[in-house]
Structure 1
Amino acid sequence: MSAEQDDRMEALLIGIDAGCLPVLEKLWNEGRLENLEAVCKDGVCEPLESQIPPWTPSAWPSMYTGVNPGKHGVFGFVDYDGYDWRVVTGDSVKEHSLWTLLDHHGMSSVVVNVPVTHPPDDIDGAVIPGFIAPEDPPCHPEGVLEEVRDAIGEYRVYPAYARDDQEWTDAERMDEYETLTRMRGEAFDYLAEQHEPDFGFLQFQKTDTVFHEFGGDWEKIRRVYEAMDEQVGRILENHDPKRVFVASDHGMGPYEKEEFRVNEYLREEGYVEATQGGKGMPSWNPIRTQLREGNDDDTWEPSFTEKVAATAAKFGVTTKRIGSGLDKLGLQDVARRYAPDGVVRTASTQVDFPESTAYMRARTELGVRINLQGRDPEGVVPQSEYEAVRDDLIEDLRDIEAPDGEPVFEEVGPSEKYFSGPYTEKSVDIVTVPNDFQHFLSAQLLGEQFDDPTEPWNHKLPGVFAAAGEGIDGDSVTDDAHLFDVAPTILAALGLPVSDRMDGRVLPHVEETEAWNYPPYEVEEASVSAEDADVQDRLADLGYLE
């Protein structure tokens, strides 16, 4: 092997949000995505089981740390302080990332657009944070984002439009999707050229967003995936990494059955108390525009107008009541278009968290939280009654049937079946897994338990994993690869020890290495300073929380 070859990137990880074999294989059958298909043909390609919950802010940290949410501390888009909430950041992740472990071994990394990496780690290399960072996020090293923009032109984390901006046509939105995808590839290409890293991690987010915004519109899906594949080809040609890995945080597919509103059911069963007005359920809607505009707040407080709406709601002037009247006049769509999100939220019927026995905090948590004395600020369930209340509620939830007579949930169980580690108290108490992920779950109080799904396409458990290159056994087979296995497998492929805290295993495609007891992750108590706390207004226009 020549000295020139020795300088090649040791490993490249291509992250495809929502990537899954049903979508990829359909595109391959159409003769598309030749670069990704070549990786799969040269090595191994298989389904990758996601975690519970299979959503971006928790799943990507699980992938890049190799541990379950109970060990890294991120269960959803928001973290809770009692009944209040703030959007998660990279500081919320309490375990070493793949690139910080590599840094421990003297190996450099370039990490571009990976979710939940703001603020960035101080490593040998470069980091440009992705999803859930504010626009224009601090990057590592300082000034690198400006350097990238000087080299490639504009670079944005989020689209230039808001999802509810009616002035943008579908054609213009798709052009923006392709532009954002190109930015990812060009930024990574430039940084890899400048830093010559041992490890590269490039993530594509719009491969997920296109489903949320446009449902199953195959032409739009094809355009985004082809744009992604073009950038993958560019990176492979320019940097010729010794090993290439492809992984997704979850899959994607249609939700063909009714939406189930968990809190509406819990209210009918006497577990949930409702209130009129207030701050409302966690939602991206009031903070997503701030995120796009680079605002760095990590939570949302009602404005004067929104507080007025909340007060009006207490006297019966609710969003639902107004909407019913406007609907009779044929004006409801106009109201939806122009009413500020925060006004709609504060004027809605909401869960009264302190007064409720149990409730769903956010639909993407996939579960129910019990309002427990001694843990929650105004808990109503005594510690001595916790197990009995939980057992009864588990049985009740297991018995719920959809209108077609089939169970709504494939599995309902205690949180400890899914989570372990020092941060399990942050989790829900009862995990609710929709039957074949066909039912969209909602935390909203809207009067009916079942309705048409808010989003007809959403997350599924099976994602995708592929690996090719030096030391990859292309003939090895496994049918149970899991999200937690990605980080230990990459470490082993590089000949490095895995962490003994990892929940994942080394997949049989590479030679297994020993396990080390790496230094524990140092939790910085000062990480929630006023300045750092201005870091969240995030989430792009996905409506993950209601």
Structure 2
Amino acid sequence: MTQVAILGFDGMDADLLRVYGPALPHLRRLMLESPFLELTSSIPPDTIPAWGSLYTGLNPANHGLLSFLPCDSEPGSHDGVQAEPPALTCGTTFWDLASASGRRICVLNPYLAYPAWPVNGIMLALSPRDGSMSITPEEYELSLTFPPPPRLAGRAARAHREELRAFYHELVSCTLQQAALGLELLQQESWDLFFLQINTLDIIQHLFWHYSDLSDPAYPGQSEHLTRIQSFYRLCDHIVGEVRAALPAESVLMVVSAYGHGRRSHQRVNLNEWLRRQGLLTVQARSLHLLDRPFSPRPRRRPVSDELLAHVGLIARERQASTRSESGLIDEEHSLARVLSLGGDGPFGGVVLNRQRIQEQGRDYEALRVSLQEEMLRLRSRGRPLLRWVRKREEVYQGRYLERLPDLLFELQGDLAIGDELYVPLLTTQTARRTISGVHRKDGVFLIGNLLHHEPEVSDVHEITVMDVAPTVLRLLGINNVVRFDGQPLLALKAAEPLP
């Protein structure tokens, strides 16, 4: 039976692997061995739905792990209420299925899996609220230390270079300690399945992107932070090399990330303002005295440190402000439609239709949905389409939690993001923000090395997605047809060579 070791690097980007490849010998070797490289993320490519799909092999409409407020909730029902982040269910992940099939497993630091639950081996998870560790079996709790990433506190809000320097080195130290514990446990037993997730790379890219991207409007010029991201990729490469050296020669090594990373857009498309002009979005009557000046339907953003920590799961998430107009400026009860930004500050979003209000006005839900879809695709700026695509939710995904998704899903052009202002032009430029300058993009990484007994089993037209990872891992472990996945295994056993 094949032994499988998986390293998950949150936010590792396929394009950056190509750029930095000559300085990354171990990852470069994997890239040359692997039949795959790019891994298409979920829609949206956000932490919770994307990693949820990678772990379970299910699409977001089937696993229901969403980072935005479910759209089947009553308007205003969650206003001002902090909620726990969604969590995985024991028994639904690839490591649970392997464990239930008798495989010995060691799983360290998966998202969404706190507290750890019993498995046939070891499972360790960190709390998204305070970083505390949970591990099963409990007897390991006193002997193992797996540090959570350091918290930004108030330092990143000022983003002084000295403070960023100290924070960078703390992240490096944390990563080295996490990798050391992973290596120790990897060598403790010949696990059938070993999985270690490192989440610090994503934080590095969020904070330091504009320092290394000369085309970013927020690029500050030459500085000591110019090579921070590249240096951290070299650290990841070092970890890959150490793990590979500790594995038996026949073991399969995977490197995965559920999404990539790119530059944060400064161009905003204010689609709620467009809906207001179409008569589909209503502003609260008590806010009409503000019409003489632009305003945002979102309250002032959380302090940047909290925003980033919530994104990487180090503190309890508040519901994303873009999913509810907490300031009360948008009248959700009387609006027919409103736009949500999905997946952070990026190009993915959704349109939520108010079915009750549509029915009260004697209008047809499906006709309005089709009309909006067509009108949004016609939106232009200087002759250029603003949206890449707009689709009905059932055209994107199918599943038991489909009603939690917006009625329409869409993606703007890659250099655009969803704006939240009203009474402004459709397209606006936002002042450069220097604190969080990197955002998720949809192309993650899927590398598989040392395939001695397996070969690719996928057509050229098949888009390799995060949902394919779980069934592929189980196929390598010799576990087939245990559950129904939305993804498919990408490998098959090589045909036996005929005897001479």
TM-score by length of 1: 0.72
Does the 8 Å CA contact 1:128/1:145 hold for their aligned counterparts? no
Tell me which residue corresponds to 2:74: 82
2:230 is matched with: 222
- Alpha carbons of structure 1 residues 386 and 496: separation in structure 2 relative to 1, 3 Å: same
Q: Are 1:413 and 2:391 matched, yes or no? A: yes
SS of 1:397's partner is: helix
Q: Quick one: which of 40, 55, 58 aligns to 2:46?
A: 55
Does the 8 Å contact 2:56/2:92 carry over to 1? yes
Q: In the alignment, which residue of structure 1 is the partner of 2:415?
A: 438
Q: Tell me the equivalent position of 1:486.
A: 469
1:71 aligns with 2:62: yes
Provide the secondary structure at the position in 2 that maps to 1:259.
Answer: strand
For residue 56 of structure 1, report the CA deviation from its aligned partner: 1.5
Q: What's the secondary structure of 1:270's corresponding residue?
A: coil
* Matching residue of 2:119: 123
After TM superposition, the structure 1 = structure 2 runs for residues 140-289 of structure 1, keeping only pairs within 5 Å, are 140-142=136-138, 144=140, 146-149=142-145, 155-162=147-154, 163-166=156-159, 169-194=163-188, 196-218=190-212, 219-240=227-248, 242-254=251-263, 258-275=267-284, 285=303
Q: Does 1:464 align with 2:445?
A: yes
CA shift for structure 1 position 221:
0.9
2:5 corresponds to: 12
How far is the alpha carbon of 1:356 from its aligned partner? 2.0
Residue 201 of structure 1: how far off its partner (Å): 1.5
Aligned letter for 2:67? G
Return the alpha-carbon distance in structure 2 between the equivalents of residues 442 and 111 of structure 1.
39
Deviation of residue 255 (structure 1)?
Answer: 5.5
8 Å CA contact retained: 1:350, 1:444: no
C-alpha spacing 1:183/1:160, structure 2 compared with 1 (3 Å): farther
Question: What is the CA–CA distance in structure 1 between the aligned matches of 2:369 and 2:196, rounded to whole Å?
Answer: 42
Counterpart residue number, 1:323: none
Q: Deviations over 1:220-244 (max 9, x none)?
A: 1112111222222222223447111
Q: Are 1:98 and 2:76 an aligned pair?
A: no
| Deviations, residues 432-469 of structure 1 (Å, cap 9, x unaligned) | 1122x221223455844323366764333222211122
Runs (4+) off by over 6 Å: 281-284, 289-292, 474-477
SS of structure 2 residue aligned to 1:53 = coil
CA distance in 2, matches of 1:90, 1:349: 25
Distance 2:319 2:386 in 1: 32
Q: Which shifted more, 155-164 or 239-248?
A: 155-164
Q: Distance in 1 between matches of 2:118 and 2:437?
A: 40
The aligned counterpart of 1:502 is: 485
Gap change, CA 1:174 and 1:189, over 3 Å in 2? same
> What residue in structure 2 maps to residue 34 of structure 1?
25
- The letter of the residue matching 1:506 is P
> After the TM superposition, which of the residue ranges 441-450 and 205-214 deviates more from structure 2?
441-450
Judged with a 3 Å threshold, the aligned counterparts in structure 2 of structure 1 residues 380 and 504 are, in CA distance, closer, same or farther, namely same
Question: Would you say the 8 A contact 2:126–2:148 is kept in 1?
Answer: no
Quote the Cα distance in structure 2 between the aligned partners of 1:406 and 1:299. 36
> What's the counterpart of residue 369 of structure 1?
352
Unaligned runs of 5+ in 1: 1-5, 302-340, 374-378, 513-546
Report the AA paired with residue 182 of structure 2. F
Return 165-174 or 55-64, whichever deviates more.
165-174
Aligned residue type for 1:171? R
Q: CA RMSD in A?
A: 3.7
Deviation per CA, 1:9-46, whole angstroms, max 9, x where unpaired?
811112222323310011113xx221222223334342
Q: Which moved more, 1:268-277 or 1:418-427?
A: 268-277
Deviation at 1:300, TM superposition (A): 7.4
Contact 2:59–2:397, Cα closer than 8 Å, also in 1: yes
Which of 423, 428, 431 lines up with 1:451 in the alignment?
A: 428
- What is the CA–CA distance in structure 1 between the aligned matches of 2:29 and 2:148, rounded to whole Å? 29
Distance in 1 separating the partners of 2:68 and 2:124: 20
Evaluate the alpha carbon distance shift between residue 439 and residue 86 of structure 1 in structure 2; reply closer, same or farther with a 3 A threshold: same
Task: Give me the whole-angstrom Cα distance separating, in 1, the residues matched to 2:127 and 2:35.
Answer: 28
Contact 1:115 1:131 in 2 (8 A): no
Q: Deviations over 1:390-416 (max 9, x none)?
A: 1121122111123x4311111101000
**Partner Cα distance (1:476, 1:28) in 2:** 26
Q: Helix, strand or coil for the counterpart of 2:184?
A: helix
The count of aligned residue pairs is: 448
Amino acid at match of 2:355: L
Question: What percent of counterpart residues are identical?
Answer: 22
- Of 367, 389, 411, 1:388 maps to 367
Q: Which runs of 5+ in 2 are unaligned?
A: 213-226, 288-294, 496-500
- The structural deviation recorded for 1:355 is 3.0
- Residue 120 of structure 1 aligns to a residue whose secondary structure is coil
